[in-house]
Amino acid sequence: MARYTIVTGTGSFLPEKIVDNKSFSKAQFYNKDGKPIEKATEEIIEKFFEITEIEERRYVDDHHTTSDLGYFAALDAIKDSGIDPETLDYIIVAHNFGEVYCGDHKVDIVPTLAARIKHKLGIKNPDTVAYDLPFGCPGWVQGLIQADYFLKSGDANSALVIGAESISRVADPYDIDSMIYADGAGAAVVQAFESSQPVGILAHKTRSDTFQHHRLLWMDNSYNPQFKPGELFLKMNGRKVYEYAISYVPALVKDCIEKAKIDITQIKKILVHQANGKMNEIILQKTMKLFKINQYSPEIMPMTISKHGNNSVATVAVLLDWVRKQKLENHAINPGDYIILASVGAGMNINAIIYKFPE
C-alpha cells in the first residue's frame, strides 16, 4: 500500500455582478505611451472578443473582499468533502493582491488571507497551519502540489487549498487589458489515501522562467497620464505572455504526462488556466502534436472563460469544481478518469498535475 493525495471535495464562488462587453462601450482606453487610442470603442471590444472569446465576467460586490470570496468557496468545498474543518492540517491560499477593498487599490496582506479565512471558518485548532502562496495565476495548482508533498510525507492528512482574487480592483480602467480580468474563488479539500494502485495526484511539474520573462506582468501607473500617480495597477505584455504560453506550456504538460507513465490517450480532461480562449486552443493543438495526434475531441478541454473571464488563481479551481459537479454542459468526470490541471502566469511560472480519480 502506498500513500496518495486525493481530492475529496471542491467548491467555488462567483460574484453575482455580471459585467458584459457592452459595459465598456463608453470607456476611453489609452496606450502605454499615455495617448488616447483613436479606434472606436465598439471596434476595440469586437477585436477583444475575437482574440480572447470573453463575452462577460464577474466582479466582486462592493461589500465583499478577496478573503470573503475565498471563505465562500472554502465552505462549499468543506461541505462537499464532509470533513470536519477542525481536523484540517493546512489551509493554503493562493492569491496575488491580498485583501483589496472597494475603491482602494492598495494591497493588504497583514494578516494573511489564509489567517482571515481560517478565522471566518471559525477554526480554533492551532495545529491547522494557515499561510498564503503568491505564485501568479498558477498559485492554486502550486498549492495542490505543496499539499501533495505534505500529505505524502506523512506530515499531514488533509489540506484545504484555496485560490481567490479580486483582480478587477487592481485593473487599470484605461487599459484594454482590464476587460480580461474577473473575480472569483475556487477551493479543494485534499486528503491522504492508502491504495495498492496509483490514484489521486500521480505526477506534477513546475518551471519558473525569471531570467528573461519575469516582467511580462508587473505593477505600474495608469496609462491615463491625468490619473493620480502612485496608484499602481496590473500591467501585462499581452503578446509576450501569449507567445510564452504557447511555446512552453505544451512541453511541460508532455513532460508531466511522461513522468506519470501514462499515455495521452488516457487523459479525459485537460483543465487549463482560463486566460485566453484562442491561446488555450493553440496550447491544446501543440500538446497533441507533441504526441503526434492530429484528431481529438475539443471536449477534452472544457472552458469557462467566455462567461467567467480570467479570475487568475481561481480559474482552474473553479473549472474543476464545475466539471466535477456537472455544471458545464457536455462535461463530466467519471471514476477512474485521468485529468490534467495546468496553469501559466506571472513570474513567469508554469505548472501541471496529472490526477486520477478513484474508481
Which CATH number goes with the domain that contains 189?
3.40.47.10
Chain segment 95-115, per-residue pLDDT in tens: 999 999 988 777 889 999 999
Number of other residues whose CB lies within 10 A of the CB of residue 211: 6
Chain segment 138-155, per-residue pLDDT in tens: 999 999 999 999 999 999
> Domain residues for 226?
200-356
Q: Is the pLDDT of residue 1 over 90?
A: no
Amino acid (one-letter) located at 313? V
Which three three-digit cell numbers place residue 274? 482560463
Specify whether 208 is located in the same domain as 190: no
Q: Is the pLDDT of residue 72 over 80?
A: yes
> 0.75 cut: is pTM over it?
yes
Distance CA 347, CA 210 (A): 6
pLDDT at 261: 96
Specify whether 233 is located in the same domain as 173: no
Which three three-digit cell numbers place residue 95? 492569491
pLDDT at 312: 97
User: What is the distance, to the nearest Å, from the Cα of residue 99 to the centroid of all Cα atoms in its chain?
Assistant: 17
pLDDT at 103: 83
Chain segment 76-85, per-residue pLDDT in tens: 999 999 999 9
Of the three residues 161, 176, 195, the one that is the final residue of a domain is 195
